[in-house]
Amino acid sequence: MSVVHLRRVLRVVILLISVLGLLSLPAVSEAAIAGPYIAHIVEGGPELSKPLQREIASSAAWSEWVWVRIGPDGSKTSVIARFGAVDDKAPRVLMIRDAHPAALIADKQIVASSAVDPMTWHLIGVVEDSNDLTLYVDGLPAGTSTVSNEPVTPELLLAPTVPTDMHHFSGDIGGLSIASRAFSPAEMMNLFVQRPDFSSQLPE
């Protein structure tokens, strides 16, 4: 069985589990601490600072997810969002690395094996629980790494300023949110299944 076929089978299985368990899942709003935030980002545009409703303790579980439609130059390495200050020991970073979704905490980086297409909506998320960080792409796990919990400044930036060897993110950010608990695989798949309609809030 090919890797592509296996991913399709896994997606169908998780989707069925997700739909069957939908009614029993806790509401996202119960644990929300940021978002949902929506933004259209142009190349070279200013970073956007967004408020948090409350902080996340350094040892706490958390989840972050965002619908992303990268611009025509989506193959460039760029940062979608950074939770924490740039001088924190371990800010939480969601990014695109050579068209591949990625998550970065301190020196630990997870990069999805499959690239995402420019001008197409994709759901990218991360879940941290008991020092295990899992990257999700379109509802499916795309990699896991062990990370060290460090205090994080309560600061959330969309398309933050980046070093000169990277590119400023350009594209659309839809419904970026952070929650103060670790979402299950079924819940991450539910977020993918229940994609919001951003057509009235973002340019086509």
pLDDT at res. 44? 75
- Top mean pLDDT of 82-91, 108-117, 165-174 is at 108-117
Is the confidence at residue 138, as pLDDT, over 50? yes
The Cα 80–Cα 173 span in angstroms is 8
Lowest mean pLDDT among 15-24, 26-35, 54-63: 15-24
pLDDT classification of 18: cutoffs 50, 70, 90: very low
Is the confidence at residue 14, as pLDDT, over 70? no
Residue with tokens 């919001």: 196
The Cα 198–Cα 96 span in angstroms is 21
Higher local confidence (pLDDT), 126 or 198 = 126
pLDDT at res. 204? 66
- % the chain with pLDDT above 90: 38
pLDDT at res. 22? 44
CA distances to 9, 20, 125, 134 from 6, in Å: 5, 21, 21, 19
Helix (H, G, I), strand (E, B) or coil at 149: coil
Residue type, 116: V
pLDDT at res. 33? 80
Q: Dihedrals φ, ψ of 147, to 5°?
A: -125, 160
- Top mean pLDDT of 7-16, 24-33, 111-120, 164-173 is at 111-120
CA distances to 5, 18, 27 from 80, in Å: 29, 27, 25
pLDDT at res. 30? 54
The dihedral built from the CA positions of residue 188, 149, 172 and 165, taken in this order, carries a sign that is: negative
Is the confidence at residue 28, as pLDDT, over 70? no
The stretch 163-191 carries a mean pLDDT of 89
Higher local confidence (pLDDT), 106 or 172 = 172
How is domain 3-193 classified at the architecture level of CATH?
Sandwich (2.60)
pLDDT at res. 26? 44
State pLDDT tens for residues 40-75. 988 777 788 887 776 676 677 889 999 999 988 766
The stretch 6-25 carries a mean pLDDT of 50
pLDDT at res. 23? 41
The Cα 133–Cα 55 span in angstroms is 19
The Cα 84–Cα 90 span in angstroms is 8
